[in-house]
């Protein structure tokens, strides 16, 4: 069974500098938490990724691209819900074309944020670079914007575990309780039970 304790490890590791559920003034992103305005921490020392669609422009630009993909006809009100997940997945996949940890490290070094230093998700979007965590956060942030604007109404989460290495993805649960996975790094978007490359089930679902 996969290990789901990565978030717990990150909070334990940084417990001396945490303020409740916040790190350096931002709420920590974890399973079933809000994504936008939050910060995503590593189980080990690495960049602390800030997601903020109001402060930084790249997420909003991605959102406009995703809306264009989901449009039916010419009116925004005609966005079809079933098209939203695919549009978000394809937009992130077409943007973050370099799935490369070394390229991620290079961006972090240039930003001089240091270990566990805050860095905006936008920097990775703008450089078209990201690995699973950046791709998952981008998908989650876009889905939250779609929900904020009333196009979808489900629950959005960034999930992660350790099985064949550490991995993160975006999870969407619709109003009927059906779970969908958006995992750009593993080239999968669809129903959780149909996935074959990774076990996305939470401990209480196994």
Q: How confident is the model at residue 135 (pLDDT cuts 50, 70, 90)?
A: very high
Mean pLDDT to the nearest integer, 101-129:
94
109 is a domain residue: yes
197 is a domain residue: yes
42-88 per-position pLDDT tens digit: 988 899 999 999 999 999 999 999 999 988 665 555 567 779 999 99
146 is a domain residue: yes
Tell me if residue 194 falls in helix, strand or coil: helix
1 is a domain residue: no
User: What is the domain extent for residue 100?
Assistant: 6-205
pLDDT, greater one: 201 or 80: 201
| pTM over the 0.85 mark | yes
13 is a domain residue: yes
165-176 per-position pLDDT tens digit: 899 999 999 989
pLDDT, greater one: 82 or 156: 156
pLDDT at 23 over 80: yes
* Rounded CA separation 125/135 (Å): 9
Angle between helices 132-148 and 81-95 (to 10 degrees): 140
Average pLDDT of the residues of the chain: 92
Angle between helices 132-148 and 58-70 (to 10 degrees): 70
27 is a domain residue: yes
6-18 per-position pLDDT tens digit: 888 788 888 888 9
Domain total in the chain? 1
90 is a domain residue: yes
């Amino acid at each position: 069974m996969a290990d789901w304790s990565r978030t717990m490890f990150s909070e334990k590791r940084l417990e001396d500098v945490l303020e409740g559920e916040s790190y350096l003034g931002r709420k920590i992103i974890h399973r079933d938490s809000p994504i936008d305005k939050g910060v995503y921490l590593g189980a080990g020392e690495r960049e602390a990724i800030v997601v903020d669609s109001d402060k930084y422009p790249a997420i909003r630009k991605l959102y406009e691209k995703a809306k264009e993909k989901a449009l039916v006809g010419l009116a925004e009100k005609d966005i079809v819900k079933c098209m939203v997940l695919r549009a978000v997945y394809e937009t992130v996949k077409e943007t973050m074309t370099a799935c490369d940890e070394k390229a991620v490290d290079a961006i972090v070094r240039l930003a001089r944020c240091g270990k566990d230093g805050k860095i905006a998700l936008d920097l990775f979007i703008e450089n078209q670079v990201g690995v699973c965590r950046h791709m998952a956060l981008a998908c989650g942030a876009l889905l939250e914007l779609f929900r904020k604007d009333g196009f979808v109404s489900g629950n959005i989460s960034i999930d992660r575990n350790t099985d064949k290495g550490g991995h993160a993805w975006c999870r969407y649960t619709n109003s009927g309780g059906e779970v969908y996975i958006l995992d750009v790094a593993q080239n999968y978007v669809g129903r959780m039970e149909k996935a074959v490359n990774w076990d996305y089930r939470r401990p209480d679902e196994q």
